[in-house]
């Protein structure tokens, strides 16, 4: 009988330990995984009604130390590099020829602040990039990465498909 009590106590102890799942930790350097893209024909402003081809890109991210988002909107977190298809090869598009700067700050909310033992931030982000008519390119490729507040750069992702504009 005494042995059954000790076995019961041991099993209860093991059950308690196994229910305290191990905390998954991620490195402080952010990482990203491309999900999808789509092109949407829209207008830039309801009053001006300028036609725009909007590129919407979705990706997943993980940042182990939770310093990806900041209330400082001057801090750029997402960096884009465009390539134009010229005679069958892709050539980098100079930033000066693009209408908007190819670096974007993430929208911030105080709900994104992390404290305590697990500061990991992860989720899915969709960003938009406008191309104004007349469209300057027939086909592009896009490569991008993110950078956290500490300056850690993620892996660089190249969208695995050519993006046709016409």
* Residue among 59, 15, 17, 21 at smallest CA distance from 37: 59
Contact partners, residue 85, CB within 8 Å, separation at least 6: 91, 137, 138, 139, 140, 141, 162
In this predicted structure, the answer to whether residue 6 has a pLDDT above a threshold of 90 is no
Domains, the chain, in order of start with CATH, read 26-164 (2.60.40)
Q: What is the pLDDT of residues 12-71, one digit of tens each?
A: 556 555 555 566 677 889 999 999 999 998 887 777 778 888 999 999 998 888 888 777
């Amino acid at each position: 009988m005494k042995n059954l009590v000790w076995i019961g106590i041991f099993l209860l102890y093991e059950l308690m330990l196994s229910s305290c799942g191990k905390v998954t930790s991620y490195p402080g350097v952010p990482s990203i995984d491309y999900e999808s893209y789509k092109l949407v024909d829209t207008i830039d402003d309801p009053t001006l009604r300028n036609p725009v081809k909007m590129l919407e890109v979705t990706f997943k991210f993980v940042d182990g130390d939770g310093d990806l988002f900041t209330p400082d909107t001057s801090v750029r977190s997402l960096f884009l590099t465009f390539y134009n298809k010229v005679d069958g090869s892709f050539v980098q598009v100079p930033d000066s020829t693009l209408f908007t700067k190819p670096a974007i700050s993430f929208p911030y909310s105080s709900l994104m602040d992390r404290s305590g033992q697990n500061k990991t931030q992860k989720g899915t982000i969709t960003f938009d990039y406008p191309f104004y008519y007349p469209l300057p390119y027939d086909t592009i490729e896009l490569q991008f990465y993110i950078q956290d507040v500490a300056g850690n750069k993620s892996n660089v992702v190249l969208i695995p498909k050519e993006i046709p504009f016409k």
